[in-house]
Structure 1
């Protein structure tokens, strides 16, 4: 097969369907992990007796596990205790669990980077603890969080390809089906996957640079 013949309309449409699943998994995982990661990061930042230490221990365990193991756990192990997910749900759950642990540390570090005097100044004006966090500490810390947050989001997008192990019909899975039917399409499919991942991740990095400059003003 000629290089360009591999990009027939049927194959392009099939790859596009896989790309849409990749984007859906990534977007849902990013939103959920940012929410849960933010909650966990704030809990650790607040240093609540016992609770913060337990949360910290759980986060450290998850951060030191391979994402592939977590994907296997959500798809194969959780049904054994009555928690059943679809393939799509298992992928999103695994990505969310793993990324929440990663993001919680980034958010906690960003909050800790704000000088303590800023927090004390906010409290002295009559703001509550959470109002001080929301209006004073978080806006200053987010400037330092953006680069590592975006880097983690980009890693998440690339890591969606690991869900091919549970047959999630995402980009890599569909590309594998195409070149499994015709081995001469291996190079074109790898080129297509490379281009898709590059465009998504590079666009995200450009968007992050834009917001970082806006916040710096």
Structure 2
């Protein structure tokens, strides 16, 4: 089988797996898993990030410990715990997609917490002091003053985290999740004579996705930096007046 024949035969399988005659898989499942994980991790990461900068130690210390433990644990270990260890404790075995989704949500939330923390702490302290001098409590200062400004600065980092999440979905291969790398392996098993071409297509797929999102993050960063350096007000140009020569 030639390379073009392989593409013509398996391109639908590569994109959506056996859907609609079976479960969704391939590239569509990879994008769905990464998007769902990031969307579900956003509120949890926001809460953990706020806890990281909390003035109350009873909140800050446990949240900091949780974030450090998750960030210091390989995602592969989190997937193994969620798929093998938790069912032995709870007696309830989850499928590959929910297991991988839970692992990615926990993992991404810890990294998003650090993004939120850095975004809040990057703001000038005068923002907090001005809000508190107006009588706003701490939580209102966060909600009305700090978070709206910090979220704008966090947009490039959020896009980069989405790029990382797309690459992390490939670990679903170890529990049999039919994401795009698992589908590529199945295609290679069926063709068997074109391993270089099969995995080159897989590598190019990841590259196009991740490079495109990285360029989006770069554009967002440039736009935000240009907006930050733009003057608040522009001087109004003085209109040129036509002067007539006085008669001699």
CA distance in 2, matches of 1:86, 1:47: 40
TM-score (norm 2): 0.81
- Whether 1:65 and 2:73 are equivalent positions in the alignment is yes
CA distance in 2, matches of 1:166, 1:119: 47
Q: 1:119 aligns with which of 98, 113, 128?
A: 128
Structure 1 unaligned residues grouped into runs of 5+ = none
In structure 2, the partner of 1:109 is 118
TM-score (norm 1): 0.91
Look up the SS of the partner of 1:46 in the other structure. coil
CA distance in 2, matches of 1:213, 1:151: 14
- Whether 1:43 and 2:14 are equivalent positions in the alignment is no
Query: Which structure has the larger Rg?
Result: 2
CA distance in 2, matches of 1:158, 1:20: 14
Q: 1:138 aligns with which of 140, 147, 153?
A: 147
Shift of residue 213, structure 1, vs aligned partner: 4.1
**Paired positions, count:** 216
- Whether 1:181 and 2:181 are equivalent positions in the alignment is no
CA distance in 1, matches of 2:208, 2:173: 20
Q: CA RMSD in A?
A: 1.8
Q: What is the 5 A alignment of 1:128-207?
A: 128-207=137-216
Residues 4 and 188 of structure 1 are in contact (CA less than 8 Å); yes or no, is this contact kept in structure 2?
no
In structure 2, the partner of 1:12 is 11
Structure 2 unaligned residues grouped into runs of 5+ = 17-25, 228-248
Q: Which has the higher helix share?
A: 1
CA distance in 2, matches of 1:81, 1:202: 41
Look up the SS of the partner of 2:215 in the other structure. helix
- After TM superposition, which residue ranges in structure 1, 4 or more long, deviate above 3 angstroms? 209-216
